[in-house]
Amino acid sequence: MPKLTTSYIKRIDSELVVTQITQRTTAWIEEWSEELGRLMKLTTHREIENLLTMHLRDGKSVADLARAFMESGTREEYYRARTASLTEMLRAHSVAQQEAIIQNPAVDIKEWVHTGSYRNNPRENHVKISGDKARKDQPFSLTGADGNLYFPMYPRDICLPPSESINCHCIHRGIANEDVLGLSYEERLKLQEEAIAADDREWERERDAENKARAGITENDLTNTNNYDTMYSGTGEKGDNGILVTNEIELRQALVDFKNHIEGMEEPYKSMYQYYADNTVLVEDPKRAVYVGYDPQRDVLVYNKRQLNYIANQQPGNVIFSHELAHRYDNNITQSWNNENFTSAIKNAESAYLADPEKYKQLYAANTDLNPAFQDILSAISRDELNTHYGHDASYWNDRHISTDTFANLSYLRSHKIEIPKFDGLLDGVVQAYEQMIERGVL
């Protein structure tokens, strides 16, 4: 694997060499070879691992690997053996490319690329996402032929069903950051080592969280939430925003805690949240790359256990449920995207921003302690033209999402009595329209 990964990393940085593999990829090789061996009915999972490793190391062709599969008794018919070997060799290449992308300090963004229809029947959904980009440590979003939404880190990721992997010839590649490539070799090598160490730490932390969750261990030490409470409320009061949610057990405990937290709210927010907190369902959905989110089709809150482990995603429980249950309330009661006063106020704010974006960028730069919920509203109103580095990117912000997320963020801010910055009156009309909806819509 190091040799194969080196060939990929050199496509962007000709001087870097891969001498070690991250723990994440090492674990993938071990776990997938065992699973593949079970699926293909090999005598032991080591047999399939050895076949793949040997052929990848020696640069053998797909036909050579297919022949080896047949001789091992895994496939009695050449076409099936060739299909299996092609898919698994390409999968290994995708893993090696992802490893190279993670290790390469000159890559921040990766891109999904459909390689064409030569001697292949292209999948329309794969053609459609060709050119889509994602942060190198985050998944792509692929709508399967079955209508389900999947979140692969790369083409042929094992999270995809066989129908999306077999005979898939898509690739993914890193996009070079020329500024980093301009650094000295020693600096780039140090950054590569730091990238490996950082990924290993994250992998160990994810595994630790998974093991604790399986063992029923929860960490409710409120010292974990101090920084988040300061960031979200500006008060620094310990525990005001609840426990920091890092796993499934803590998420469910956070919902219980939030129900108690509601008792301290004032009307109309107490009534608004009380009903939905008491009548909500948490559903694990591994197909969605979401930390915690509201699914309006099913009217439930969904979460992905893997996403709960990512430090960059983690938030305090009362922040999570204030935001997501506001989405549920909005979907069932106010329907902010259909409220003419609210949507008109948002359009007016958008127009005001576009008329003088530099003014608002200067105001933003001058305020160093803005609440993340307010930053997300600014991102929405500017359609991420004002890059707050918090919340969603420009591709997310359509008219409906701007309305629903502005509603949810205002609900959190108002219910927690957090002052909304004046920002030269940019959001005055939006806040007024929001409060009118709340007064009229509470159950």
- Predicted local distance difference test score (pLDDT) of residue 120: 61
Phi, psi of 85 (to 5 degrees): -70, -40
Q: Tally DSSP H helices, then E strands, for the chain.
A: 19, 8
Residue 345 lies in a domain: yes
Residue 211 lies in a domain: no
Tell whether 244 and 299 lie within a shared domain.
yes
Read off the pTM: 0.53
H/E stretch holding 137: none
Cis peptide before 268 (omega within 30 of 0): yes
Match 């050579």 to its residue by tokens. Answer: 64
- Predicted local distance difference test score (pLDDT) of residue 134: 87
Tell whether 433 and 356 lie within a shared domain.
yes
Tell whether 47 and 147 lie within a shared domain.
yes
Kindly give the confidence (pLDDT) of every residue in the chain, 443 residues in length, as a single tens digit, with 9 standing for 90 and above.
677 788 788 888 888 888 888 888 887 777 766 656 555 554 444 555 566 666 555 555 555 655 665 565 544 554 555 566 667 777 888 888 999 999 999 998 999 998 865 556 788 899 998 999 888 888 888 888 888 888 889 998 888 888 888 878 888 999 998 888 889 999 899 999 888 888 888 777 777 666 655 555 444 433 333 334 444 443 333 347 888 898 888 999 999 999 999 999 999 999 989 989 988 889 988 777 788 999 988 899 999 887 887 777 788 999 999 999 999 999 999 999 999 999 999 999 999 999 999 999 999 988 878 888 999 999 999 998 887 866 677 778 999 999 999 999 999 999 999 989 889 999 999 999 999 998 876 54
Rounded to 10 degrees, the C-alpha dihedral 127/153/291/195 comes to -140
Show Cβ contacts of residue 241 under 8 Å, excluding neighbours closer than 6 positions.
225, 228, 229, 232, 233, 316, 317, 318, 319
Count: domains in the chain: 3
Alpha carbon 12 to its chain centroid, in Å, reads: 25
- Predicted local distance difference test score (pLDDT) of residue 231: 45
Tell whether 226 and 262 lie within a shared domain.
yes
- Predicted local distance difference test score (pLDDT) of residue 348: 96
Q: How long is the chain?
A: 443
Q: What gap in Å lies between CA 94 and CA 11, rounded to an integer?
A: 14
Q: What gap in Å lies between CA 35 and CA 231, rounded to an integer?
A: 43
Q: What gap in Å lies between CA 434 and CA 430, rounded to an integer?
A: 6
Question: Which residue range(s) make up the domain with 248?
Answer: 222-334
For the chain, the C-alpha Rg in angstroms (whole number) is 25
Residue 214 lies in a domain: no
Q: What gap in Å lies between CA 308 and CA 255, rounded to an integer?
A: 15
Tell whether 140 and 248 lie within a shared domain.
no
- Predicted local distance difference test score (pLDDT) of residue 309: 77
Tell whether 68 and 166 lie within a shared domain.
yes
Comparing CA positions, the residue from 387, 398, 250 lying closest to residue 318 is: 250
Q: What gap in Å lies between CA 161 and CA 153, rounded to an integer?
A: 14
Encoded amino acid at 220, one letter: N
Domain boundary among 334, 349, 376: 334
Tell whether 161 and 30 lie within a shared domain.
yes
Show Cβ contacts of residue 123 under 8 Å, excluding neighbours closer than 6 positions.
145, 164, 168
Domain boundary among 334, 360, 377: 334
- Predicted local distance difference test score (pLDDT) of residue 223: 32
Tell whether 321 and 345 lie within a shared domain.
no
- Predicted local distance difference test score (pLDDT) of residue 12: 87
Match 């000709």 to its residue by tokens. Answer: 14
Match 């292209």 to its residue by tokens. Answer: 122
Tell whether 278 and 392 lie within a shared domain.
no
Q: What gap in Å lies between CA 152 and CA 160, rounded to an integer?
A: 7
Region label for 232, one of left (φ > 0), alpha (ψ between -120 and 50) or beta (otherwise): alpha
Residue 201 lies in a domain: no
Tell whether 239 and 329 lie within a shared domain.
yes
Tell whether 158 and 103 lie within a shared domain.
yes
Tell whether 45 and 183 lie within a shared domain.
yes
Q: Are strands 171-176 and 149-150 parallel, antiparallel or unpaired?
A: unpaired
Residue 204 lies in a domain: no
Q: What gap in Å lies between CA 90 and CA 155, rounded to an integer?
A: 9
Domain boundary among 288, 315, 334: 334
